[in-house]
Amino acid sequence: MSVVRKTLQENYIYFIKELTRIDEEISRLPVGSISEKKIGNSSYYYQQWRDGKKVKSVSLGTEAPSNLLDGINKRRLLEKQRKDILDNIRVISRAIDTQKVTAEEIIKIFSQHGIKTILIGSYCIPVMKEGLGLNLPTIRTQDIDFLVTIPYKGKEVDVESILKTMGFSIGFNSDGSTYFSNGVFKVEFLTPEKGKGNDKAISIKPLKIRATPLRYVQMLSEHPLKMEQDNYTYFVPNPWVLAYHKILVSRNRKTKDKKDKDLLQAVALLREIRKKPDLLKKALSYFETLPDKWKKFIKMQIDEYIPDFLADRLLY
């Protein structure tokens, strides 16, 4: 590895860690701004913030709490720092030779070492587009996410040693989970949440990693699709399972942009599935196996975007 490339990667990893730290700090700070309104001889203060297209407001009385003002000012400063960091990451990413390692090569080496995972996240969308002939928008990010089910039943493999040969360095998220970055890609591992509210990283001892536990990801491991290449195979979720999963996670998103992205991908998947009777039949049958609370929320979203999608579900 050249000195220049190594330096770029080190800088990239530094900025990624800083971005993670800042995002976590911002999430704990108050949103919006403080406005003042005079009524007679008195001043009244309000905290205002945007929630989608709506502006929400909370009365603070005749005095704005100093800790709230400090928190809002700190959030503004951190948001500016965040923008500067993202600009730096984009510049560094363009400077790095991305041809050295591709996402496909990471998937291939995992398969060849017998690492049992399911490719999830944005990189499984183009796989479905090509493998199933679905006309889907491909929004790739620098994150490559793998689902690891527990108990893990694959081979014992030192993931860090394998990825190190490809120029990756190990890092740790605030919850203790493992990630690997090479200055271009960030490889992370997710696993089903053991209990509601349990957000501590889960050790996957055979792989010598710690995975991030998330709600709903268990469903992505149900009846996954086996994708076969010339000399390796790997798995991705079924498209209808992924669509329902995207809808479910959208309701817990903290930002509108991420929620909109989830729903965009879910709607695109379901519209394509509707065009293929064999896939539609399986999608509707699977829908009926979901918990009632999940079905209620999924139906509410589908009825808004694709009103007739679930119309014939009782026929299957």
Q: What dotted CATH number matches 99-237?
A: 3.30.460
> 232-258 burial, b if ≥16 CB within 10 A, otherwise e?
eebbbbbbbbbbbbbbbbbeeeeeeee
In whole angstroms, what is the distance from residue 263 CA to residue 251 CA? 10
Is 98 exposed, middle or buried, given 0-12, 13-18 or 19+ CB atoms closer than 10 A? middle
Contact 71, 30 (CB under 8 A): yes
- Distance between CA atoms of residues 187 and 168, nearest Å: 9
Q: Tell me: the pLDDT tens digits for 34-44? A: 888 888 888 88
Tokens of 83: 């923008």
Nearest to 46 by CA among 26, 30, 60: 60
Q: What are the pLDDT tens digits along the chain (316 aa)?
A: 444 456 666 777 778 888 888 888 888 898 888 888 888 888 888 888 887 778 888 888 888 888 888 989 999 999 988 888 888 887 776 655 443 467 788 899 999 999 999 999 888 888 888 888 888 876 667 789 999 999 998 889 999 999 998 889 999 998 899 999 987 788 999 999 876 666 789 999 999 999 999 999 999 999 899 999 888 999 999 999 999 999 999 988 888 878 888 888 898 899 999 989 999 999 999 999 999 999 999 999 998 888 878 766 544 4
Q: What pTM was computed for the model?
A: 0.67
Torsion angle of the four alpha carbons 142, 264, 298, 132, in this order, in degrees rounded to the nearest 10: -80
